[in-house]
């Protein structure tokens, strides 16, 4: 389905306004919303301001119109931007994402973004591995796309999930020219085992690699522990803590980070503001 256009914004209620100096609240009308596979969906909408400002690893906070009684927005990684079109990939897991399946092209969506601190700029002189666990591959597609668009070598992509049905976007990564390796817990696709099997192999071949990763916390912790044993590599993790405001105001999304200067040896960082992407060694796992 082709992406549709955002409504021309005319009245006071629907006008686009800058809610801070780095993100937008964007009422938009029109999108495509299609099932990718199983419980995974892809939504495209035209959001030029967000597309222009977005960096890999950032997210948008979406108000789901069908659940008016629920005031909290839902956070989703920016999966790709293409000119003025923003793509999200979401897994149906509960009330909000269930309602998102019913969003039709005539819906008005209220989106806040781009939000958060994304991945660091890529180096020229070392191999880059991008790791996606389950829907975590959504954030990595944008990162890979940007890497290729900026003339860097196509990153290696490592995807891991429980089963074949949870491995997403392989064709999209392949079209970008990225070598893709897959692991599944049940062996239904790629190597049988956790994604750490692939990461161990990658670090043996390239001990100075940069790892950029997004996925469930246990996966990120396991990857961080492997990276810790490899002094020449570096590792970034995108944490998907549950969020309330999404803009740094409520402290509902904090994670514990190491802080040798505090008496306790740690401090809280807001996942929506200082993250969601952190250096792996910063986090108190
Ligand atoms: C920065 C960020 C980026 C994200 N990117 C994506 C993405 O690209 N694609 C995607 O499908 N999802 C993504 N998520 C997770 C997504 O926001 C949640 O799945 C969604 O908000 C659930 O809403 P719901 O109303 O359907 O679920 P609820 O009814 O609120 O909850 C249903 C179940 O999902 C669990 N859940 C809810 N939120 C989270 C969360 N943040 N992390 C883990 N489990 C959760 C609940 O514990 C519960 O078991 C991201 C989250 C964050 C914080
Ligand atoms: S969700 Fe409110 S501070 Fe992060």
**Shortest-distance atom of ligand 1 to CA 88:** 8
So what's the pLDDT on residue 30?
A: 52
Give all domains of the chain, ordered by start, each with its CATH number: 17-115 (2.40.30.10), 128-240 (3.40.50.80)
Query: Average pLDDT of the chain?
Result: 89
Choose between 47 and 180: higher pLDDT.
180
Query: Residue 71 C-alpha to ligand 1 middle, in angstroms?
Result: 15
Confidence tier at 109 by pLDDT (50, 70, 90): confident
Tens digit of each residue's pLDDT (9 = 90 or more) over 185-228: 999 999 999 999 999 999 999 999 999 999 999 999 999 999 99
Taking the whole predicted model, whether its pTM rises above 0.75 is answered as yes
Q: Between the CA of residue 21 and those of 15, 27, 139, 277, 281, what are the distances in Å?
A: 17, 17, 23, 20, 30
Cβ–Cβ < 8 Å for 245, 84: no
pLDDT at 166: 97
pLDDT score, position 154: 94
Query: Quick one: which of 60, 68, 70, 71 has its CA closest to 31?
Result: 60
Q: What is the mean pLDDT of residues 115-121?
A: 95
Q: How far is the CA of 92 from the centre of ligand 1 (A)?
A: 9
Residue 17: what pLDDT?
39
Distances 141 to 99, 114, 184, 186 between C-alpha atoms, Å = 25, 16, 19, 24
Give the DSSP letter string of 79-135: -EEETTEEEEEEE--SHHHHHHTT--TT-EEEEEEEESB-PPPPPSSS-EEEEEEGG
Identify whether the C-beta of residue 168 lies closer than 8 Å to the C-beta of residue 160: no
**The predicted structure's pLDDT at residue 50:** 92
Residue 4: the pLDDT is 33
Q: Which ligand is nearest to the CA of 61?
A: 1
pLDDT in tens, 125-140: 899 999 999 999 999 9
Ligand 1 atom index nearest CA of 253: 53
Average pLDDT rounded to a whole number, residues 164-176: 97
Top-confidence residue, 284 or 17: 284
For ligand 2, the distance from its centroid to the CA atom of residue 277, given in whole angstroms, is 14
pLDDT at residue number 40: 97
Confidence at residue 26, expressed as pLDDT on a 0 to 100 scale: 64
- Which amino acids bring their CB within 6 angstroms of ligand 2? 243-246, 248-253, 270-272
Is the bond into 276 cis (omega within 30 degrees of 0)? yes
- What is residue 68's predicted lDDT score, i.e. its pLDDT? 63
Residues 107-116, mean pLDDT to the nearest whole number: 90
Pocket test for ligand 1, best of 44, 54, 97 (most atoms within 8 A of CB): 97
Confidence at residue 57, expressed as pLDDT on a 0 to 100 scale: 97
The residue nearest atom 29 of ligand 1, judged by CA position, is: 94
Ligand 1 first shell, C-beta below 6 A: 59, 74-77, 89-91, 93-97, 135, 138, 240-243, 276
Sheet architecture: strand order including 85-91: 31-37, 40-46, 85-91, 80-82
* Per-residue model confidence (pLDDT) at position 124: 86
Cα-to-centroid distance, 203 and ligand 1 (Å): 30
Give the pLDDT of residue 210. 97
Local confidence band at 28 (pLDDT 50, 70, 90 cut-offs): low
Q: For the segment 50-89, what is each residue's pLDDT rounded down to a tens digit?
A: 999 999 999 999 988 877 666 789 999 999 998 889 999 9
Cα 248 to ligand 2 centre (Å):
4
């Amino acid at each position: 389905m082709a992406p549709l256009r955002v409504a021309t914004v005319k009245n006071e209620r629907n006008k686009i306004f800058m809610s801070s100096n780095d993100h937008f609240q964007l009422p938009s009308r029109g999108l495509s919303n299609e099932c990718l596979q199983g419980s995974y969906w892809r939504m495209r909408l035209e959001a030029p301001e967000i597309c222009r400002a977005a960096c890999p690893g950032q997210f948008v906070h979406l108000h789901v119109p069908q659940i008016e009684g629920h005031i909290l927005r839902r956070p989703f990684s920016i999966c790709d931007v293409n000119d003025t079109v923003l793509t999200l990939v979401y897994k149906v897991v509960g009330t909000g994402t269930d309602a998102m399946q019913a969003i039709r092209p005539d819906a008005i969506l209220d989106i806040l973004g781009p939000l958060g601190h994304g991945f660091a700029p890529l180096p020229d002189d070392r191999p880059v591995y991008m790791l996606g666990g389950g829907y975590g591959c959504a954030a990595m597609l944008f990162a890979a796309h940007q890497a290729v668009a900026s003339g860097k070598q196509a990153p290696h992509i490592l995807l891991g999930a429980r089963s074949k049905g949870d491995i997403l976007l392989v064709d999209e990564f392949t079209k970008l020219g990225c070598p893709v390796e897959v692991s599944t817990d049940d062996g239904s696709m790629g190597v049988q085992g956790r994604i750490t099997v692939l990461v161990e192999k990658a670090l043996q071949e390239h001990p100075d690699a940069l790892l950029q990763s997004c996925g469930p916390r246990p996966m990120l912790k396991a990857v961080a522990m492997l990276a810790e044993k490899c002094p020449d590599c570096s590792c970034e993790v995108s944490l998907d803590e549950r969020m309330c405001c999404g803009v740094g105001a409520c402290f509902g999304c904090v994670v514990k980070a190491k802080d040798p200067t505090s008496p306790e040896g740690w401090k809280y960082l807001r996942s929506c503001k200082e993250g969601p992407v952190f250096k792996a060694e910063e986090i108190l796992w």
